[in-house]
Chains A and B, each alone.
Chain A
Amino acid sequence: MIVRILGEGRYDLPEADLPVIEQLDAQLVDALDRSDEAAFAGTLADLVGEVRHAGTLIPADDVRTSELVVPHEGSTLDEVRDLLAQGS
């Protein structure tokens, strides 16, 4: 499964890692719902770290598209909220 970290690139992740990623994603949603800046920042850092750790960076000449997209490292809650609003 290919996961993109915005501003960084795509990583190929084994399917076995999906539950961990999904769990962090759910925590991110929760932090957004509660407007909890600190929890959001911590979870985003964990998510970025997990994708980097578990995945393999895909070279630029490989043109496969991603299935999941992680916000830019260091994004604030408001920034991500604004990004998500572009899709509604």
Chain B
Amino acid sequence: MSVMKRLSGIVQAKANKALDKAENPADMLDLSYEKQVENLQKVRRALADVATARKRLELQASQLQGQAQKLQDQAKQALGQGQEDLAREALGRRATLAEQLDSLGTQHQQIEQQQQQLETTATRLQAQVDAFRTRKETLKASYTASKAQASIGEAVSGISESMTDAGMTLDRAQDKIAQMQARAGAIDELLDTGALPDALGTGGDDIQRQLDATSRAGQVDAELAALKAEVGAGAPAQGLPAAGASSPEAAGPAAGDGQEGAPA
């Protein structure tokens, strides 16, 4: 059976149910006015939530992008050092991040659509609230006339249908927001626990450690060669930086005490 007719039936049933509480036409008018104002506030709150969720997605995307770029640079550096396995590892991790980024992109599109629908809903509700505020007083003033009662009925049914639409749109947006938040939370957790390696640049970055170790070893070799040339073979290596110095820039003049210097 027709999707549009079934949906219409569902919307009408919800709209009628919302009106069941009202005892008389005047109550109906007041009740639906209050509901409109209430719904408008809810839609505005949902809009703020959507904006927050969107910002969070954008932040995560830029974190992931930064990390992907870093891995790309590391792969290049590793290749430069002749460490193909390490380059492969970096590129593999980068591919995982790219998948995450793709899915964030899809989410971002969805949330933009939510935002747009909620904005439309808010504008529409605002226009409706403004128009209804004056109309309801006019209708109430004359509601004893049978014709006016019919107009009240029509007005209220029409408003109630729009309110139902707004309510359904709100529910949908809230579901989406909850899904996004859950997903954003999961990505944060991945970033934190390092399952997506070092996306925050915190903690140990094993690829960087290996790259640093290799470049440190290279530096030490170069310094040794220079020293050998300077002092001649056989002399103990005085004043060399400690081989295990913590900084990759250990080549500086801040040397160790020489006791641990590698023998030439």
Contacts and interface: CB of A to CB of B under 8 A. Distances in A.
Given A25-B3, A65-B158, A65-B161, A7 B131 contact: no
Contacts of A19: none
A12 interface: no
Contact of A68 (B4, B157, B168): B4
Interface size class of A (residues with CB under 8 A): 35 or more
What secondary structure prevails in chain B residues at the interface with A?
helix
B195 interface: no
A38 interface: no
B127 A74 contact: no
A62 B124 CA distance: 11
Residue among A3, A4, A79 facing the most chain B CB atoms (10 A cut-off): A4
Interface stretch (B6-14, B199-207, B211-219, B246-254): B6-14
Interface string A49-68: 00000000001111111111
B161 A4 contact: yes
Contacts of B52: none
Contacts of A4: 8, 11, 161, 165
Interface string B1-45: 111111111111101000000000000000000000000000000
B185 to A, nearest CB: 22
Given A68-B8, A87-B6, A73 B113 contact: yes
A69 B7 contact: yes
A7 B8 contact: no
A26 B125 CA distance: 31
Contact of A60 (B2, B10, B124): B124
A75 B237 CA distance: 73
Interface string B130-158: 01100100000000000000000011011
A71 B158 CA distance: 18
A66 to B, nearest CB: 6
Interface of B: 1-13, 15, 110, 113, 117, 120-121, 124-125, 127-128, 131-132, 135, 154-155, 157-159, 161-162, 165, 168-169, 172
Interface of A: 3-4, 6-9, 21-22, 25-26, 28-29, 32, 59-75, 79-80, 83-84, 86-87
